[in-house]
């Protein structure tokens, strides 16, 4: 097993980012736990290469939460229940089981900012796991619950340079070795950490599906009109990995997504009475 220190991680990440193959690490909202009603968040690794039998070692990630949400202690909040709300309905391949993860509250430095900071740490001493990587296909490494029913604030994956964890022996990457991707070395595949926050205010919406909502044109070159809704509270545009890529507050019935890359997205259109989710193709 590896003893992970921030300085070493930064050096390694610098090397990894210069390589052709990398992992993109992110958080993704995937639904609500049917038993507890808690929000479920996935820790995701998305490779830009294809290779089989990646070897995992001890793994870590650091997250920060505000707005009253918190993680359940040890591994009690981790799940492998595959409960998803649209659009993330097709990602159910867990690389590591829930019982092999722990949530460790870091205190300090969390008190310095008023935010709660946790390390997600794979249980030391467990057997390494081998799993495959496919280009642009998200790998769910862990799914954990957020208790406290937060309606404000956010959750974010921290970069090692963040002041909240600076000087602590925490890693925010997943230790995975693919020999071909790392040119035959024993180094791990590093990559880019997505520090985009997931807003709890966006997630705390009415749980009623609206009928009769339509969008056009679809496919679109950018501008989209929405029919069947009088007053729109907000519109969330989500990519196929379940990440919010665009957000419109107090939106009108006509929005522009021309700044997004070509591909498939989902629009979550929310009103005071409920929401509708529509698939849209950006040409």
Domains in the chain, CATH or no CATH each: 6-202 (2.60.40), 205-282 (2.60.40.3080)
Compute the distance between CA of residue 99 and CA of residue 31 in angstroms, rounded to an integer: 20
The pLDDT value given to residue 76: 92
pLDDT of 192 reads: 79
Residues lower than pLDDT 70 in the chain: 1-20, 57-58, 81-95, 107-113, 124-125, 163-174, 186, 190, 204-208, 240-242
Structure tokens at 68: 């009253």
CA distances from 45 to 59, 61, 197, 241 (A): 12, 11, 16, 10
What six digits make up the tokens of 194? 């997505």
Instruction: Report yes or no: 229 and 276 within 8 Å, Cβ to Cβ.
Output: yes
Whether 114 contacts 65, CB under 8 Å: no
Let me know: does 27 contact 157? Beta carbons within 8 Å.
Answer: yes
Rounded Cα distance, 235 and 249, in Å: 7
pLDDT for 216 equals 92
pTM for this one? 0.66
* pLDDT confidence of residue 124: 65
- Please report the pLDDT score of residue 14 as a whole number: 39
pLDDT at 105: 86
Tell me the HSE value of 93 on the side-chain side, using a 13 A CA sphere.
11
What per-residue confidence (pLDDT) applies to 147?
A: 92
């Amino acid at each position: 097993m590896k003893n992970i220190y921030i300085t070493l991680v930064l050096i390694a990440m610098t090397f990894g980012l210069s390589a052709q193959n990398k992992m993109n690490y992110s958080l993704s909202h995937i639904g609500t736990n049917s038993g507890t009603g808690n929000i479920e968040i996935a820790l995701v690794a998305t490779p830009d290469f294809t290779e089989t039998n990646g070897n995992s070692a001890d793994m870590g990630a650091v997250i920060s939460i505000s707005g009253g949400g918190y993680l359940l202690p040890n591994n009690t909040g981790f799940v492998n229940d595959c409960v998803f709300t649209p659009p993330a309905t097709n990602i159910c391949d867990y690389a590591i089981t829930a019982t092999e993860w722990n949530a460790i509250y870091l205190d300090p430095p969390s008190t310095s900012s008023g935010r709660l900071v946790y390390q997600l740490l794979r249980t030391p001493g467990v057997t390494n796991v081998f799993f495959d990587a496919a280009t642009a296909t998200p790998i769910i490494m862990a799914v954990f619950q957020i208790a406290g029913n937060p309606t404000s604030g956010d959750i974010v994956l921290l970069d090692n340079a963040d002041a909240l964890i600076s000087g602590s022996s925490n890693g925010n990457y997943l230790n995975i070795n693919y020999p071909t991707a790392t040119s035959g070395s024993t180094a791990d595949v590093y990559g880019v950490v997505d520090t985009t926050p997931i807003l709890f205010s966006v997630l705390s919406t009415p749980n009623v599906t609206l009928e009769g909502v339509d969008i056009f044109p679809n496919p679109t070159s950018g501008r989209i009109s929405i029919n069947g809704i009088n007053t729109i509270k907000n519109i969330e545009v989500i990519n196929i990995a379940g990440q919010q890529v665009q957000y419109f507050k107090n939106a009108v019935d006509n929005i522009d997504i021309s700044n997004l890359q070509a591909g498939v997205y989902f629009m979550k259109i929310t009103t005071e009475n409920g929401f509708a989710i529509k698939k849209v193709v950006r040409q």
